[in-house]
Amino acid sequence: MLLFPASGKPEGIVLLSLSFSYLRRAMTVAKKEIVMSGIRPTGYLHLGNYFGAIRNYVKMQDTYECYFMIADLHSLTTHPDTRELRDHVHRVLAENLACGLDPDKAALYCQSHVPETSELYLYLNMLAYKGELEKTTTFKEKARLQPDNVNAGLLTYPVLQTADIILHRARYVPVGKDQEQHLEMARNFVKRFNHRYGEIFPEPIAFNFGEELVKVPALDGSGKMSKSENQNATIYLSDDDDTIRKKIMKAQTDSGPKEPNSPKPAYIENLFLLMKLVCDEAMVTKYEQDYNQCTIRYGDMKKQLAEDMVRFLQPIRRRAEEIRNDIRYLKQVMEQGAEKARASARATMELVRQAMGLNYF
Ligand code: TRP
């Protein structure tokens, strides 16, 4: 067969340059930085998850080698009753796909489908100290919330999270601010491992596109949107149009500023923050001006926000519902993801066992 007959190049040169470009591409593929993140299948995904994490996953899947995981093992530390687990796993996966994650680009998988995770977790547990684990903020908080079930899994939660990340020798971890302490602990475990057994792992760092980490405020001015608490002040990706409208129209306001250019109270600032996420810039500017000139009508502003929010979320919700009803597709995506994740995990575990001297023959 004649390749590129129009170029007039002798065939050998064409083949040579073809294989060079193949090589170059293979090398850039191999050099892609590795990204890993996880999300627990507890509760429902909300706007905070979308703007704080998922949107970044979608942006990263083209340029990085990405591993995005459903942390079902982590959920056992707080949700030992597994009756609803299957439903939650399906929903989280469907919602992530509906937001634009592509199973042909990123590995989308379930933590328990990669048994190497548990092996690495066990080795890392020997390098994690009781004192530091007990001091972890999330541990203290969860121990307070479930005093009758302060289990060892809860204590070693950050160790399991470290295993998830370094199993792929990932460097970047797109997560929200609340995970920073876990990442700091991951770096400590990695340093200890590398120091004791040899430089196997890079130190993982939080990744946020150089912007401030986006915090999506709750509608009642009481902190962030949440998967399980505060349901009326949180907008979920699964909320129907009317629920979205009702939640936004109920958000706290007041009779408006009395003096031009006043500072905004937190609950008003939050409404503006939400507008910036889903409304046109011109619309935000208009309401900023109205606020500064004391002519703002909060009712109108909330209506605008509600309609733009509906416009933003409706296609995601519809797509997620469609995907969730296609069990065969979900299963196929999970299998494909697990295969990619396990290939990467197997390669790392070979290195780990070798480095630790667990190969006796
Ligand atoms: N701990 C994370 C959370 O609660 C979820 C998680 C599990 C994770 N494993 C991870 C996040 C690995 C990043 C990397 O949100």
SS (H, E, C) 269-329: HHHHHHHHHHCCHHHHHHHHHHHHCCCCCHHHHHHHHHHHHHHHHHHHHHHHHHHHCCHHH
Q: In testing the pocket of ligand 1, which one of 74, 142, 157 has its CB within 8 Å of the most ligand atoms?
A: 74
Looking at residue 7, its pLDDT comes to 42
Helices (H), 173-216: 180-197
**Cα distances (angstroms) measured from residue 202 to each of 7, 33, 34, 63, 231:** 46, 11, 10, 19, 39
Distance 40 CA to ligand 1 centre (A): 7
The pair of three-digit structure tokens given for residue 50, joined into one six-digit string: 């979308």
Domain ranges of the chain: 10-214+326-356, 239-319
Please name the CATH architecture into which domain 10-214+326-356 falls: 3-Layer(aba) Sandwich (3.40)
pLDDT tens, per residue, the chain with 361 residues: 444 444 444 555 555 555 666 666 655 555 799 999 999 999 889 998 998 889 999 999 999 999 999 999 999 999 999 999 999 999 999 999 999 999 999 999 999 999 999 999 999 999 999 999 999 999 999 999 999 999 999 999 999 999 999 999 999 999 877 899 999 999 999 999 999 999 999 999 998 766 656 778 888 877 788 776 778 899 999 999 999 999 999 999 999 999 999 999 999 999 999 999 999 999 999 999 999 999 999 999 999 999 999 999 999 999 999 999 999 999 999 999 999 999 999 999 999 999 999 999 9
Looking at residue 2, its pLDDT comes to 40
Looking at residue 222, its pLDDT comes to 74
Indicate whether residue 111 lines ligand 1 (CB < 6 A): no
Reported in sequence order, the residue ranges of the chain that DSSP labels E, i.e. its strands, are 34-39, 65-70, 107-110, 172-173, 205-206
Predicted structure pTM score: 0.87
Indicate whether residue 53 lines ligand 1 (CB < 6 A): no
Identity of the residue numbered 147: P
Indicate whether residue 79 lines ligand 1 (CB < 6 A): no
SS3 105: coil
Looking at residue 9, its pLDDT comes to 47
Distance 301 CA to ligand 1 centre (A): 36
- Nearest C-alpha to atom 13 of ligand 1 is from which residue? 37
165-191 as b/e, with b when 16 or more CB fall inside 10 Å? bbbbbbbbbbbbeebeebbebbebbbe
SS3 79: coil
Distance 37 CA to ligand 1 centre (A): 6
- Nearest C-alpha to atom 15 of ligand 1 is from which residue? 39
The residues annotated as belonging to the active site are 142, 224, 227
What is the C-alpha separation between 270 and 280, in angstroms, rounded? 16
Q: In testing the pocket of ligand 1, which one of 164, 168, 185, 190 has its CB within 8 Å of the most ligand atoms?
A: 164
The pair of three-digit structure tokens given for residue 12, joined into one six-digit string: 């050998």
Looking at residue 208, its pLDDT comes to 76
Indicate whether residue 37 lines ligand 1 (CB < 6 A): yes
Looking at residue 22, its pLDDT comes to 62
CATH topology for 239-319 is Tyrosyl-Transfer RNA Synthetase (1.10.240)
Helix axes 157-166, 180-197, angle to 10 degrees: 70
Indicate whether residue 167 lines ligand 1 (CB < 6 A): no
